[in-house]
Structure 1
């Protein structure tokens, strides 16, 4: 039985650089949490709030997603996103999408206007065009990381995937994730962010969004693993998320996740130098941090 309390969490990516001032990002994330809180208080549903928040994260240019996307090794911007509605079990995803401002809106269109879950590459772009989604006229001036990949970018450059998980006042759960991956990825590389069960998951148990070295999150199916640990293993959200992240670390990967459960509990564990994150807890408390 649901109650009218709601909670949410969002992230701007794992791998915060020690010594870097993330004041702008922390303030931005806090503001988004406050806006989402007001939407939930007005009765908005979990999926709408998750998508709206990720759209704002993409548009900010502050993270390695949307306008802040990083180019691949050929200087091309290939973007990934997925979302899942826990109340209905519906999901949508796009991978290696080029030319559109908001991959998460494209993913939602896939979910709501096709019989499919994922579209990739030119097929995703062709579909997005039919939906009238906003295109990027000139990538060289629109992206905040404009320009071709430079070989001197460090290989361990922190990732900046964005995501949001929400438990609304009716107990519905939703998750959304969006990314460009990391600087210098091979053309066509797809990480966990557009993969349902790896980069995001939502059901009646939990909603999860992941960030970090995607290959490890795919290999351990982190997002759905959290929900299954809870559903079939009887674990708490805190225990399930900690174990899932430890599995990534155990393989040599790093990253983090955000999650909420059907009771409104929030978890944000990470095994990396930091995790840009913010949350609204059921008692109304808001936090925003980068480390």
Structure 2
């Protein structure tokens, strides 16, 4: 164990375009990692920290999640999110949710106020409304798409955060506006526990990329199983899971933190936006490998 018992990774999505600068996103992620360092240093639980970080990513408008989401082919904004507490394996998720500022807050409400793991569509909307979560009054004026469709077969965008707190507790949270120009009702890997989001007592993970392939490879769950049963490091396990995603024809990235504070953030796409609070207290941020 290093001198600092807590660590964290956050991402702003895999797949970057060579002709675009991401300095604004990098600066934002670096600042969020600094805020998270203070929260974890003050003893805040990992679950609370990952929710707060993802909320900040959602409401920034800089990423394809929350305010920065893009509409589906019916010109409606359907958002997904999931959160998981590694210590208890309690989890909550929303899918194809409409009309609320923060899907990650709704996901936590699912986890803490219902006996379920996921609510979708109008059911998720109803829970959010009854919980008093902030609503989007005018979608056309609120949403400012952070990306436009490009030449990728499946253009994507996601945000996420994983953390280990001072007490060794792990947590993960992921949120997305989904693939660009998606079919109405489409649900990706983000809200599916074990596909795009996972946390247990060994590792916490958040995935980003072409969700259909992460679902078909059970990416997050596979990486977690390799840590648990094969005793691989977080980085080794995530890289194996990404190889399986690639074998199926997809790409993306995974961020993870292990019970000993070791972090991982590999990707097989054209870059991945991320920031890392290392266990030694350093903060790094960028769109390339942070080694």
Q: TM-score scaled to structure 1, two decimals?
A: 0.95
Match of 2:232 among 228, 231, 235: 235
* Structure-2 residue corresponding to 1:66: 66
SS of corresponding position for 1:238:
helix
* Structure-2 residue corresponding to 1:258: 255
* Structure-2 residue corresponding to 1:193: 190
SS of corresponding position for 2:171:
strand
Q: What is the CA-CA distance between 1:5 and the residue it aligns to?
A: 1.1
Match of 1:210 among 202, 207, 224: 207
Provide closer, same or farther for how the CA distance between residues 153 and 227 of structure 1 changes in structure 2, counting only shifts above 3 A. Answer: closer
- How far apart are the structure 2 equivalents of 1:242 and 1:80? 25
SS of corresponding position for 1:73:
coil
The answer to whether the aligner puts 1:10 opposite 2:10 as a matched pair is yes
Q: Conserved in 2, the CA contact under 8 Å of 1:199 and 1:209?
A: yes
- How far apart are the structure 1 equivalents of 2:15 and 2:34? 24
Q: What is the CA-CA distance between 1:121 and the residue it aligns to?
A: 0.4
SS of corresponding position for 2:186:
coil
Aligned residue runs from structure 1 range 97-112, under 5 A: 97-112=97-112
The answer to whether the aligner puts 1:270 opposite 2:267 as a matched pair is yes
* Structure-1 residue corresponding to 2:175: 178
SS of corresponding position for 2:110:
helix
Q: What is the CA-CA distance between 1:2 and the residue it aligns to?
A: 11
* Structure-2 residue corresponding to 1:123: 123
Q: What is the CA-CA distance between 1:36 and the residue it aligns to?
A: 0.2
* Structure-2 residue corresponding to 1:87: 87
- How far apart are the structure 1 equivalents of 2:61 and 2:10? 16
- How far apart are the structure 2 equivalents of 1:158 and 1:7? 30
| CA displacement 1:25-78 (0-9 Å, x = unmatched) | 000000000000000001101000000000000000000000001100110000
- How far apart are the structure 1 equivalents of 2:34 and 2:156? 25
| CA displacement 1:229-256 (0-9 Å, x = unmatched) | 0111121112111101111011110100
SS of corresponding position for 1:258:
strand
Question: In terms of mean alpha carbon deviation, does 221-230 or 2-11 score higher?
Answer: 2-11
Structure 1 unaligned spans of 5+ = none
Q: Conserved in 2, the CA contact under 8 Å of 1:153 and 1:183?
A: no
Q: TM-score scaled to structure 2, two decimals?
A: 0.95
- How far apart are the structure 2 equivalents of 1:47 and 1:13? 20
Aligned residue runs from structure 1 range 154-165, under 5 A: 154-156=151-153, 158-165=155-162
| CA displacement 1:260-285 (0-9 Å, x = unmatched) | 00000010010100100110001011
Q: Conserved in 1, the CA contact under 8 Å of 2:155 and 2:180?
A: no
Q: What is the CA-CA distance between 1:4 and the residue it aligns to?
A: 5.7
Q: Conserved in 1, the CA contact under 8 Å of 2:4 and 2:281?
A: no
Question: In terms of mean alpha carbon deviation, does 161-170 or 15-24 score higher?
Answer: 15-24
Give the length in aligned residue pairs: 288
* Structure-1 residue corresponding to 2:52: 52
* Structure-1 residue corresponding to 2:133: 133
Dislocated runs of 4+, deviation >6 Å: none
Q: CA RMSD in A?
A: 1.8
- How far apart are the structure 2 equivalents of 1:154 and 1:233? 38
